[in-house]
């Protein structure tokens, strides 16, 4: 097996050859445990930033990071294509946007501060999206295309990956990198995918890990080809065998056509759907992460108006809903080409952060609701012998009914509330918490129930 890794240049034989911990088989690779920090984190920030942030335009139903593809394909009745011709001219090529991607107002420390204030525990930056432009000084990107195609040789003139990940680590936000397997307009990708994988993809991924040691690795753009073509198993074995601390590393499930939900450390969904996935393994009880923008796009889309952006309450309740189902939220922001996070996106992140300052214990480190069905008044999360009732519909009679809980409630109180404890009435299967004297907080009010034991619920479907 080692010969395969040597063949693809993944291993440089140095020192005594010993059996690596991980072999390039899904059986071996799936033996890697999802790190506990990732299971506990529950909330990350996705950042889609690149050359596509210059036009920052597409039909408001979809993703503006696909601008090049929408223009090439004449999608949306030619909306993007005619926008391009009108504003830049038909002879202006997508690659001509790169020098305009200046990031002249970019302050990585400011971004890291915003991410930290949001309450996010990790971040994932697009190191290279489907357009192949690298946000770090990668040579393979420029060599494969025959023109400067990274953020040091053109545009910002800076190592955006290096600076931002350093700033985030300093703020205690764990660093993550998105990386697209597929590329548009790369002659090597178009003419010889095997050479593209060996001469571009593998060296780029190795360089990302050797230079930046991300703790989250977020492959994407895998859906057209099987893992064999991408050499995914060899790459992931190399990553796990060479990571500074493989136990800290979390990778997603996007490693080859039809594999989502079955491989990697966690499953991914996107805007509530399985995306390009067969979804075959998505029912497995393992951590999952839902990613979505605050509007309809991952990268900044100047065509999106105020009404498209999710409200502060919608963002908070999205996080609560996902965590109550055993998942995490990777909420995306799309910065501008000059390096700013749009203020409406900052507003949503700060609203989540303020809510988490009071209610974080009901999110971080919790497990999915023990109930089969969500109660009418909201959602439930759990942590050992504590239940957190996230009340979104405040009961008019100021009485919170908790049906289906057999365990005895020892005490109850509102997180951030006025009173140290609230009266509990009823009995097993039909408890109630008297909320008189308390009042609903913005977005959701958490009632913390200390139980006599790990929650025991009735399994009836009712």
Site of interaction with ligand GLC (CB under 6 A): 48, 63, 65-66, 220, 270, 291, 298
CB contact at 8 A, 45 and 124: yes
CA–CA gap between residue 280 and residue 257 (Å, rounded): 11
**15: buried, middle or exposed (CB in 10 Å: 19+, 13-18, 0-12)?**
exposed
The encoded tokens of residue 195 equal 């050479």
CB contact at 8 A, 304 and 332: no
Residues 6+ apart with CB under 8 A from 87: 55
Nearer CB in complex with ligand GLC: 147/271: 271
- Shortest Cβ distance from residue 348 to ligand GLC (Å)? 18
- Shortest Cβ distance from residue 139 to ligand GLC (Å)? 24
Nearer CB in complex with ligand GLC: 101/298: 298
CA–CA gap between residue 375 and residue 449 (Å, rounded): 15
- Shortest Cβ distance from residue 235 to ligand GLC (Å)? 18
CA–CA gap between residue 232 and residue 179 (Å, rounded): 13
CA neighbor of 256 nearest in space, from 2, 26, 14, 13: 26
CA–CA gap between residue 319 and residue 328 (Å, rounded): 7
- Shortest Cβ distance from residue 248 to ligand GLC (Å)? 23
- Shortest Cβ distance from residue 270 to ligand GLC (Å)? 4
Q: Which residues are bridge partners to 200 per DSSP? A: none
Nearer CB in complex with ligand GLC: 66/111: 66
- Shortest Cβ distance from residue 331 to ligand GLC (Å)? 12
The beta strand positions in 117-227, using DSSP E, are: 122-128, 176-180, 216-220
- Shortest Cβ distance from residue 334 to ligand GLC (Å)? 10
Nearer CB in complex with ligand GLC: 270/304: 270
The encoded tokens of residue 128 equal 């290279």
Nearer CB in complex with ligand GLC: 49/371: 49
Nearer CB in complex with ligand GLC: 34/276: 276
Nearer CB in complex with ligand GLC: 65/253: 65
- Phi and psi dihedrals of 159, rounded to 5? -85, 90
CA–CA gap between residue 117 and residue 250 (Å, rounded): 23
- Shortest Cβ distance from residue 66 to ligand GLC (Å)? 6
Nearer CB in complex with ligand GLC: 265/438: 265
């Amino acid at each position: 097996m080692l010969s395969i890794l040597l063949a693809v240049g993944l291993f440089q034989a140095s020192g005594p050859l010993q059996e690596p911990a991980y072999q390039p088989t899904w059986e071996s690779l799936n033996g890697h445990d999802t790190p506990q920090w990732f299971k506990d984190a529950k909330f990350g920030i996705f950042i889609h930033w690149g050359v596509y942030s210059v036009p920052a335009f597409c039909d408001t139903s979809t993703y503006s990071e696909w601008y090049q593809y929408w223009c090439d394909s004449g999608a949306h009745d030619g909306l993007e294509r005619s926008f391009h011709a009108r504003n830049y001219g038909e002879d202006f090529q997508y690659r001509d946007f790169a020098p305009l991607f200046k990031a002249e107002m970019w302050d990585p420390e400011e971004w890291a501060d915003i991410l930290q204030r949001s309450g996010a525990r990790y971040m994932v930056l697009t190191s290279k999206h489907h357009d192949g432009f690298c946000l770090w000084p990668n040579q393979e990107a420029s060599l494969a295309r025959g023109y400067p195609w990274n953020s040091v040789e053109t545009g910002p003139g800076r190592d955006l990956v290096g600076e931002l990940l350093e700033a985030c680590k300093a703020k205690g936000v764990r660093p993550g990198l998105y990386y697209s397997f597929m590329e548009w307009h790369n002659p090597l990708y178009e003419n010889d995918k095997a050479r593209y994988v060996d001469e571009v993809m593998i060296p780029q991924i190795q360089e990302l890990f050797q230079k930046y040691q991300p703790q989250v690795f977020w492959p994407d753009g895998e859906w057209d080809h099987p893992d064999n073509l991408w050499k995914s198993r060899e790459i992931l074995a190399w990553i796990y065998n060479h990571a500074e601390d493989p136990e800290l590393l979390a990778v997603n499930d996007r490693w080859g056509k039809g594999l989502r939900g079955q491989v990697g450390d966690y499953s991914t969904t996107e805007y509530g759907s399985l995306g390009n996935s067969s979804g075959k393994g998505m029912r497995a009880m393992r951590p999952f992460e839902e990613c979505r923008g605050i509007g309809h796009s991952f990268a900044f889309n100047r065509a999106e108006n105020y009404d498209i952006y999710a409200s502060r309450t919608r963002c908070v309740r999205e996080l609560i809903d996902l965590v109550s189902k055993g998942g995490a939220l990777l909420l995306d922001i799309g910065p501008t080409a000059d390096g700013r996070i749009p203020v409406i996106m900052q507003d949503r992140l700060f609203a989540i952060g303020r809510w988490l300052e009071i209610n974080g214990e009901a999110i971080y480190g919790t497990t999915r609701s023990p109930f089969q069905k969500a109660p009418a008044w909201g959602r439930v999360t759990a942590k050992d012998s504590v239940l957190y009732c996230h009340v979104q519909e405040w009961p008019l009679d100021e009485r919170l009914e908790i049906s289906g809980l057999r365990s005895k409630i020892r005490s109850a109180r509102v997180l951030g509330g006025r009173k140290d404890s609230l009266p509990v009435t009823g009995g097993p299967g039909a408890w109630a918490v008297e909320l008189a004297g308390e009042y609903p907080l913005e977005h959701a009010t958490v009632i913390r129930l200390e139980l006599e034991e790990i929650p025991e619920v009735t399994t009836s479907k009712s």
